[in-house]
A and B are shown apart, each in its own frame.
Chain A
Amino acid sequence: MDLKANVPSGPIDTAWSRHKFEMKLVSPANKRKYNLIVVGSGLAGASAAASLAELGYEVRCFCYQDSPRRAHSIGAQGGINAAKNYANDGDSVFRLFYDTVKGGDFRAREANVYRLAEVSGNIIDQCVAQGVPFAREYSGYLANRSFGGAQVSRTFYARGQTGQQLLLGAYQALSRQIAAGKVTMYPRTEMLDLVLVDGKARGIVTRDLVSGKVESHAGDAVILATGGYGNVFFLSTNAKGSNVTAIWRAHKLGAGFANPCFTQIHPTCIPVSGDYQSKLTLMSESLRNDGRVWVPTKAGDNRKPRDIAEGDRDYYLERRYPAFGNLVPRDVASRAAKAVCDEGKGVGPGGRSVYLDFADAIKRLGEGGVRERYGNLFDMYERITAEDPYKGPMRIYPAVHYAMGGLWVDYNLMSTIPGLFVLGEANFSDHGANRLGASALMQGLADGYFVIPYTIGGYLASTKLAKVDREGQDFKRAEVEVNERTKRLLGNKGKRTAMSLHRELGKLLWENCGMARNAAGLRATAARIPELREEFWSQVIVPGSGSDLNQALEYAGRVADFMEFGEIMCLDALERSESCGCHYREEFQTEEGEAKRNDAEFAHVAVWEYRGPGQAERRHTEPLTFENVHLAQRSYK
């Protein structure tokens, strides 16, 4: 597997400008001769589809929701980072780059991260121009707030609905291109396979989720912006439809899968309330700006929170990490919450939660002040739990949130399959082993607005592309496979629902490949998953037919892919004999219980290659070098 990162040589701060100049261009008149396929209409997909169409390319864009505006990005709450230094507090492109590399625990590629920081300011400008109603100061200028893992205030936000507003901006730009006839939008359409012709990505096979019709789309390049795979755990903060299907099918055709075991567990989510639970709700990290996290000092203290005196409370983040306090990065905060709960100090039913308390903030800012900052989040908490967070502390617990792993891409965001580009959460590129808050929105939009419009031109202008036709045999073969799979799912006469099997898989992974992992647990789980997969294929019942709207069928197809993918997650976690960022191997910790990296052996990206059914995947590595941020033990003390 060729893992050439194609990073321009020379100084990092001019690498992207030089690269943009050196890449070949497609002339304006020729752009309309190219057909591009964009799968996904989240921040990454919508921004890419709109920008490419503005340039003159012919674009087809796909999403499984009934409207592109409903992509999972819509749910992002807290904010988006940019190195504008409007706060005059010492921020710079280099500092954002530095924080992101360090926050990712030195497992990301420097050059990509630098570029991300470099274009971050343009993203804010672009979104403002589109009419995104960012929060403002009384001066009329843009407001900022702080997020975890940073000591500067660089997060832009639109109340607690930042993702919604950014996505609506991108959706509206996309809509303009749809009206102009430059983008053809296919909502309620699921990509079920990728098609390669002569080794290059040349199309996809889709299923119309209303009519059930399976068909092919041919193009000159394929862009996957299909989001993250956190739902492999069943319970996560992701939208219910978020899946691994698109990137997994591409993986099975040769796209390397990077760092599949890197999944972010977010520290502040509403705890599980019962076994019918269908998803977990995030309480934005921005709340840690003003909320203080604590548990009772004494295990088993079940007095009401307001009856517990200050002296009997352990503000454990402030105690353990005085420099960053409640704003330590997510992996650190999540593990600390797990640790206090494991010690029996957790609160609420089952003792699996901690308090996030706003009493001090309400004293300082007044209830109105807190409402202005977090009103919609407080309302959401109240709606779900029937408890009023203005009166007592919230209860929170970590939950699966974000996939740092994803398809491997080079500096041009191209996967190991020529012509297959991967953007947003679906790729692995920028966040290493832990993503900082407010950086996913930044990355999705950087990829879509400011990276792919250049790099895809470089590919198209320098590649000879034969004419392909969706009636060709490569397409027909892929369609047959898709149809057979559907038939197999529907033909089963089993006893279990896809959801019950999915829950079982999720629980296994949460317990063994979640916040803490060890070799024995990972080995056992990697062995158990193939059995569970067998059970899935022999036991699952999928009602209805393939030729109409059938949500049970859609879901079962996604679960089938999770059943394969989960195994690779465990193997990846097992092979990485170190702790880094979210990946906490109990065998590798410092005396204080922090993650202990092993840079000598593991300063690399692990990339998995699929080698056929029944064959073990092969692990490759892309070495990471740190020339601009020096490898150091992460410390937030």
Chain B
Amino acid sequence: MNVVLMVWRQENRDTAGRLQRIEAKDISSEMSFLEMLDVVNERLILAGERPIAFDHDCREGICGSCGVVINGTAHGPRRGTTTCQLHMREFHDGQTIVIEPYRAKPFPVLRDLVVDRSALDRITAAGGFVSASTGSAPDGNAIPVAKPKAEAAMDAAACIGCGACVAACPNAAAMLFVGAKISHLGLLPQGQPERWMRAEAMVAAMDREGFGPCTNVTECAAVCPKEINLSVIARMNRDRMAAVFLVARRSPRGDTA
């Protein structure tokens, strides 16, 4: 098949970008989307032009490196699917495909389709963990976890941190990402001692990084390749409200859980 790409090209974070038209001829419908970009890049290199920069690594939908906006949708047209797992059979011959980077203030563009998502790491560092230093753990079976709880925690823990939720949100909110981590740890007994402090700290970091508020647009969950449920946001808000309330009365640490 032949497709026409309209690809965002930008030198670096300080320059303006523009869409470039590139014809991608003789593309197999069995190729993955990124394999199609590989082929285009090989041709660009041979023609003496600069190849398109895009992030990727596992190409299995799990590392969260890839992620571009395809025809207006983060990760493209197929639900529950990362860019790297998308295949060209989802497109038709002659189609024009617009490929842009995630657009959100906290994610500056570094080059072409590559953005800086380090804000998400800083939110995690603010509190997205259980403080269990190596060596201090009791036997794994000392703390039973009811199967439905464990399953719900796993549903939230499936987040790959790709940032599509932010890109899809008109407010550039990171609620789905933050809510997923707060839910994952907050649902488990291991996460209880720091539960309120975690919610507080992660939400504060999120605000500090310049992510916007949630106005219930729900685009985040629609594009999430791991189909993280919106309920994680409700849980985050609950935990955070509880934290404000509890912090007002006692120390934010531990004993209030």
Given known A125-B140, A142-B141, contact A276–B57 (CB-CB < 8 A): no
Distance, CA A384 to CA B87, complexed state (A): 7
Judged by a CB distance under 8 angstroms, whether B158 is at the interface is yes
Of chain A, the residue at the smallest CB distance from B124 is A175
B139 touches A125 (CB 8 A): yes
30 contacts between A and B (CB under 8 A): A54-B133, A65-B65, A67-B120, A70-B63, A72-B63, A74-B63, A84-B140, A121-B140, A125-B139, A128-B143, A129-B137, A130-B129, A131-B188, A131-B190, A133-B157, A136-B145, A136-B147, A164-B62, A165-B157, A171-B124, A175-B125, A240-B59, A278-B35, A281-B60, A384-B32, A384-B87, A449-B134, A499-B38, A541-B46, A548-B111
Q: Are A176 and B30 in contact (CB under 8 A)?
A: no
* Complex interface: chain A residues within 8 A of B223 (CB): none
Which residues of chain A from 48 to 105 have a CB within 8 Å of any chain B CB? 50-51, 54, 65-72, 74-75, 84, 86
Question: Which residues of B sit under 8 angstroms from A159, Cβ to Cβ?
Answer: 154
Assess the B118–A67 pair: CB atoms within 8 A.
Answer: yes
Chain B 82-111 against A: per-residue CB contact (8 Å), 1 yes, 0 no? 000101010000000000000000000011
Picked from A175, A278, A380, the residue with its CB within 8 Å of the CB of B128 is: A175
- State how many angstroms separate the Cβ of B112 from the closest Cβ of chain A: 9
Q: Closest CB of chain A to B116's CB: distance in Å?
A: 7
A396 to chain B, nearest CB (A): 15
The reply to whether B12 and A548 contact each other, CB–CB distance below 8 Å, is yes
Assembled-state Cα–Cα distance A16/B149 (Å): 37
Contact of B32 among A47, A135, A278 (CB under 8 A): A278
**When the two chains form the complex, which single residue of B51, B137, B154 contacts A126, counting CB atoms closer than 8 Å?**
B137
Choose among A68, A278, A453, A500 the residue with the greatest number of B CB atoms under 10 Å from its CB.
A278
- Say how far A125's CB is from chain B's closest CB, in angstroms: 4
Please, how many angstroms separate the alpha-carbon atoms of A450 and B48 in the complex?
Answer: 50
Taking CB atoms, residues of chain A closer than 8 Å to B59 are 239-240, 278-279, 281
Nearest first, the 9 closest Cβ-Cβ pairs linking A and B are A140-B144, A129-B137, A172-B129, A129-B132, A125-B137, A179-B125, A175-B125, A133-B154, A51-B134
Q: Are B42 and A133 in contact (CB under 8 A)?
A: no
| Cβ A74 vs Cβ B62 within 8 A | yes
**When A175-B121, A274-B31, A543-B50 are in contact, do A75 and B62 touch as well, CB less than 8 Å?**
yes
For residue B81, which residues in chain A have a CB less than 8 angstroms away from its CB? 383
Q: Which residue of B lies closest to A141 (CB)?
A: B141
Kindly state whether residue B34 has any CB partner on chain A within 8 Å: yes
**Contact of A541 (CB < 8 Å), options: B45, B55, B131, B132:** B45
B16 within 8 A of A: no
- For the A-B complex with A74-B160, A129-B130 known, give 12 more contacts whose Cβ atoms are closer than 8 Å: A65-B65, A67-B118, A129-B137, A130-B130, A133-B154, A133-B157, A161-B62, A165-B154, A175-B129, A239-B63, A274-B31, A549-B53
Assess the A240–B57 pair: CB atoms within 8 A.
yes
Residues on A with C-beta less than 8 A from B128 are 172, 175
Chain A residues, CB < 8 A from B126: 179
B contact residues, total (Cβ < 8 Å)? 79
**A125–B153 Cα gap in the complex (Å)?**
18
Mask for B43-87, Cβ within 8 A of A = 1, else 0? 011101111010111111111110000000000001011000101
Contact of B144 among A141, A449, A541, A549 (CB under 8 A): A141
Determine how close the nearest CB of chain A comes to the CB of B191; give it in whole angstroms. 5
Number of A-B contacts (CB under 8 A): 219
Residues from chain B with a CB closer than 8 A to the CB of A552 are 41, 45, 51
Say if the beta carbon of B28 comes within 8 Å of chain A. yes
Question: Are A497 and B157 neighbours in the complex by a CB distance under 8 Å?
Answer: no
In this assembly, does A359 line the interface, its C-beta being within 8 Å of a C-beta of chain B?
Answer: no
CA distance A47 to B135 in the complex (A): 12
- Expressed in whole angstroms, the minimum distance between the Cβ of B211 and any Cβ of chain A is 16
A543 x B49 contact (CB < 8 A) = yes
Question: Please, which residues of chain A bring their CB within 8 A of the CB of B240?
Answer: none
Contact of B58 among A72, A274, A497, A548 (CB under 8 A): A72
B117 on the interface (CB 8 Å rule)? yes
B22 to chain A, nearest CB (A): 15
Cross-chain contact B58 with A239 (CB below 8 angstroms): yes
A127 to B145, CA, bound (A): 14
B150 at interface by CB-CB < 8 Å:
yes
**Is B146 an interface residue, CB under 8 A from the partner?**
yes
**Are the C-beta atoms of A168 and B157 separated by less than 8 Å?**
yes
Interface residues of B in 154-203 (CB under 8 A from A): 154, 157-158, 160-161, 184-185, 188, 190-191
Q: Is B19's beta carbon under 8 Å from chain A?
A: no
**A128 to B87, Cβ gap below 8 A?**
no
A75, B144: Cα distance in complex, Å: 27
Please tell me if A473 contacts chain B, counting CB pairs below 8 Å: no
Closest CB in chain B relative to A239 CB, distance in Å:
4
Footprint of B on A, CB under 8 Å? 47, 50-51, 54, 65-72, 74-75, 84, 86, 121-122, 124-131, 133-142, 158-159, 161, 163-165, 168, 171-173, 175-176, 178-179, 185, 187, 210, 239-241, 273-274, 276-279, 281-282, 379-380, 383-384, 386, 449-450, 453, 495, 497, 499-500, 541, 543-544, 548-549, 551-552
Residues A380 and B60 in contact, CB atoms below 8 Å apart:
yes
Residues of chain B contacted by A125 (CB below 8 angstroms): 137-140
B residues near A541, Cβ cutoff 8 Å: 45-46
Give A513 to B141 CA distance when docked, in angstroms: 44
Task: Judge whether B228 is part of the interface by a CB distance below 8 angstroms.
Answer: no
Q: Measured between alpha carbons, how far is A128 from B130 in the docked complex, in Å?
A: 10
The minimal Cβ–Cβ distance linking B85 to chain A, given in whole angstroms, is 5
Chain A residues with Cβ below 8 Å from B124 are 69, 171-172, 175
Are B57 and A72 interface neighbours, CB within 8 A? Answer: yes
Contact between B60 and A75 (Cβ–Cβ < 8 Å)? yes
- Beta-carbon nearest neighbor of B150 in chain A: A136
Chain B residues whose CB sits within 8 angstroms of the CB of A176 once the complex forms: 125, 129, 131
Q: What is the minimal beta-carbon distance from B65 to any residue of chain A, in angstroms? A: 5
Among A130, A141, A384, the residue within 8 A (CB) of B85 is: A384
Docked complex Cα distance between A170 and B145 (Å): 21
Minimum CB–CB distance from A525 to chain B (whole Å) comes to 25
Name which residue of chain B comes closest to A242, CB basis. B57
**Chain A contacts of B134 at CB under 8 A?**
47, 50-51, 54, 126, 173, 449-450, 453
CA distance A168 to B130 in the complex (A): 11
Q: Which residues of A contact B58 (CB under 8 A)?
A: 70, 72, 74-75, 239-240
Residues of B within 8 A of A386 (CB): 87, 89
B232 contacts A by Cβ under 8 Å: no
Bound-state CA distance A168–B39 (Å) is 33
Contacts of A47 in B (CB 8 A): 134
Q: Does B224 contact A (CB under 8 A)?
A: no
- Residues on B with C-beta less than 8 A from A497 are 42, 45-46
A68→B65 CA distance, assembly (Å): 11
The reply to whether A131 and B184 contact each other, CB–CB distance below 8 Å, is yes
Contact A66 B153 (CB under 8 A): no
By a CB distance below 8 angstroms, the chain B residues around A71 are: 63
Q: Is B236 located at the chain interface by the 8 A CB criterion?
A: no
A239 to B133: give the CA distance in the assembly, Å. 29
Q: Which residues of the other chain, A, contact B216 by a CB distance below 8 angstroms?
A: none
* B137 and A543 contacting across the interface, CB-CB below 8 Å: no
Contact among B38, B48, B87 for A383, CB-based, below 8 A: B87
Closest to A445 in B: B134
B50 lies within 8 A of A139 (CB): no
Using known A-B contacts A133-B153, A140-B147, determine if residue A70 contacts B64 with beta carbons closer than 8 Å. yes
Residues of A near B161 (CB, < 8 A) are 67, 69-70
Determine if B136 is an interface residue (Cβ-Cβ < 8 Å): yes
Q: Answer yes or no: B114 CB below 8 A from chain A CBs.
A: yes
